[in-house]
């Protein structure tokens, strides 16, 4: 279904995010027939160039970042909808030209794909030059601050010029198909909700393992680390969707109110419940410290922790989170590990069997529900755990294998005016309020992160975090 007519301006239109994610996502939605023929995309950046030059650049980006589905005629068609204006974010250059390009009476979206230090200047100029209006929306990306103080400042800067319902803060994890499926599974079935609490759930594991390192992004990453780069945002969102109460409806504030309550219910994490890691390798140039400027950097490329959501539903059920770079595989999942059956009629010798619901975000998007059954054969009552495997591509046909990129969904939601999958300002601030003391604690002690070998599952201490409680991490495979 096509979305309404729109003009989308991408500030930072020549940058990496625009080339790698935003423009390819727009092209795919164009191909899918979701963009009306009149809709326009305007690249805006500092470089002097004309629209023809920009289209060439966009064509090159599409060729580089789309691995299939790129018939030339469609690309030509798409490029006709694209213009470029050179604007000076902190001066006056280009703004009148931009304002002339924008049509009256259609939805306007401004994507701030630039450093957060420019948000204020852009917002101000949009107003000065008559580009902003009540129908316009702005889209901002992480990093949304680096602590509570800076996040508050950013929120204030944006709210000085726009109302909260015009501000779309992207966390691309919320655009992932399987993340939305988590809500469908929880709230579209009667099967899970009665069991989704501390009475039946032993613990939850959320893993976002990456096989890539920081190569090429060392300068940014070394100032952030896994806690700021991944936990404060992506893992926090996954945790919220897993732990939240059922919202009254699937609408922006209903969902975001419930997520916020989860963040506010998080207990402070004692140092003994967190492990930080940094990858090392015997090969030259492959260790974390070889890839960042500061040879003594104490930034973590891995973090594992035990969290407690202090509310009626979850008291006593730990949530274990881990994320890291240069791990043995790319593997993202949320696993709900249920408790043992209260009594085993088959005796103790048959070992431990537990139901597990594993929601796989990547690769092979899908779900596994492990159930215990009798091992076939004459060998008596032997129990075995088997997965009821629902790989979306197998269950729903080949189209389901073509999972749309998170940005496709999210950008179309901006145009539709649906904020459900975007973070509200108070949510971001609450997440920083929880993150800050942890990071400050590390800075105070000055301890070095533990080391872990590249292509491993992380530091030994992370395994201990669960072992000491008679649990273990699920395989990263």
Binders of ligand BG6 in range 25-54 (CB under 6 A): none
Nearer CB in complex with ligand BG6: 17/309? 17
Q: Does 339 appear as a known binding residue?
A: no
Residue among 218 and 247 whose Cβ is closer to ligand BG6: 218
Determine if residue 19 is labeled as part of a ligand binding site: yes
Q: Which residue is nearest to ligand BG6 (CB)?
A: 229
In the region spanning residues 186 to 215, those forming contacts with ligand BG6, defined by CB under 6 A, are 210
In the complex, least distance from residue 56 CB atom to ligand BG6, rounded to whole angstroms: 28
Least CB distance to ligand BG6 at residue 229 (A): 5
Q: Which residue out of 203, 234, 343, 467 is catalytically annotated?
A: 234
- Binding site annotation covers 277? no
Among residues 7, 229, 413, 427, the one that binds ligand BG6 under rule CB under 6 A: 229
When the beta carbons of 315 and 329 are compared against ligand BG6, the nearer one is 329
Query: Is 458 annotated as ligand-binding?
Result: no
- Min separation Cβ 373 and ligand BG6, Å: 34
Q: Does 222 bind ligand BG6 (CB under 6 A)?
A: no
Shortest CA distance to 421 belongs to which of 119, 205, 121, 176? 176
One symbol per residue from 78 to 107: x for binding ligand BG6 (CB under 6 A), - otherwise; what is it?
------------------------------
On whether 259 is known to bind a ligand per the annotation, the reply is no
In the complex, minimum distance from the CB of residue 221 to ligand BG6, in angstroms, rounded to a whole number: 7
Task: Determine whether the annotation assigns residue 229 to a binding site.
Answer: yes
Of 226, 195, 190, whose CA–CA distance to 449 is shortest? Answer: 226
Nearer to ligand BG6, 229 or 368 (CB): 229
Contact 75, 59 (CB under 8 A): yes
The least CB distance from residue 239 to ligand BG6, in Å, is 16
Judged by beta carbon, residue 138 or residue 170, the one nearer ligand BG6 is 170
129 labeled part of a ligand binding site: no
325 known member of a binding site? yes
Q: Single out the residue of 104, 90, 21, 103 nearest to residue 58, CA to CA.
A: 21
Residue 432 CB, nearest approach to ligand BG6 (Å): 16
Task: Indicate if 161 belongs to the active site.
Answer: no
Our CB check for ligand BG6 shows the closer of 247 and 324 to be 324
The binding site for substrate comprises: 172, 176, 210, 229, 325
Contacts to ligand BG6 by CB under 6 A = 210, 229
Binding site feature residues: 12-19, 46, 142, 172, 176, 210, 229, 325
Active site residues: 234
Which positions make up the binding site for NADP(+)?
12-19, 46, 142
């Amino acid at each position: 279904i096509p979305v309404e007519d729109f003009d989308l301006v991408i500030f930072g239109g020549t940058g990496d995010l625009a080339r790698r994610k935003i423009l390819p996502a727009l092209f795919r939605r164009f191909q899918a027939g979701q963009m009306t023929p009149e809709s326009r995309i305007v690249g805006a950046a500092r470089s002097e160039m004309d629209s023809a030059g920009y289209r060439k650049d966009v064509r090159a980006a599409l060729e580089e970042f789309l691995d299939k589905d790129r018939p030339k005629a469609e690309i030509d068609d798409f490029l006709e909808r694209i213009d470029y204006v050179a604007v000076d974010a902190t001066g006056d250059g280009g703004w009148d030209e931009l304002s002339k390009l924008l049509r009256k009476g259609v939805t306007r979206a401004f994507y701030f794909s630039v450093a957060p230090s420019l948000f204020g200047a852009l917002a101000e100029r949009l107003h000065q030059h008559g580009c902003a209006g009540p129908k316009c929306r702005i889209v901002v990306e992480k990093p949304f601050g680096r602590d509570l103080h800076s996040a508050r400042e950013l929120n204030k800067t944006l709210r000085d010029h726009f109302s909260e319902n015009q501000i779309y803060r992207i966390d691309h994890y919320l655009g992932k198909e399987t993340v939305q499926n988590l809500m469908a599974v929880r709230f579209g079935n009667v099967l899970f909700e009665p069991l989704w609490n501390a009475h039946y759930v032993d613990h939850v594991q959320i893993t976002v393992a990456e096989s890539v390192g920081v190569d090429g992004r060392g300068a940014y990453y070394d100032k952030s680390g896994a806690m700021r780069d991944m936990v404060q945002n992506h893992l926090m969102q996954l945790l919220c969707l897993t732990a939240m109460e059922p919202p009254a409806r699937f609408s922006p504030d209903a969902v975001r109110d419930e997520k916020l309550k989860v963040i506010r219910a998080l207990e402070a994490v004692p140092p003994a419940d967190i492990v930080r890691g940094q990858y090392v390798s015997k090969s030259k140039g492959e260790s974390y410290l070889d890839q960042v400027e500061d040879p003594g950097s104490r930034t973590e490329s891995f973090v594992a922790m035990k969290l407690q959501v202090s509310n009626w539903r979850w008291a006593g059920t730990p949530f274990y989170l881990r994320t890291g770079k240069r791990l043995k595989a790319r593997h993202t999942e949320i696993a709900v590990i249920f408790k043992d059956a209260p009594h085993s009629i088959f005796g103790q010798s048959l070992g431990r069997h537990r139901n597990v619901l594993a929601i796989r975000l990547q690769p092979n998007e899908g779900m596994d529900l492990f159930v215990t059954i009798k091992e076939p054969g004459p060998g008596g009552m032997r129990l075995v755990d088997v997965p009821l495997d629902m790989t979306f591509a197998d269950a729903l046909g080949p189209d389901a294998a073509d999972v749309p990129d998170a940005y496709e969904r999210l950008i179309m939601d901006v145009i539709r005016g649906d904020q459900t999958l975007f973070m509200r300002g108070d949510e971001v601030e609450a997440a920083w309020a929880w993150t800050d003391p942890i990071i400050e604690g590390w800075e105070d002690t000055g301890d070095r992160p533990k080391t872990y070998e590249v292509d491993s599952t992380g530091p030994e201490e992370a395994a201990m975090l669960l072992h000491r409680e008679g649990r273990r991490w699920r395989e990263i495979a």
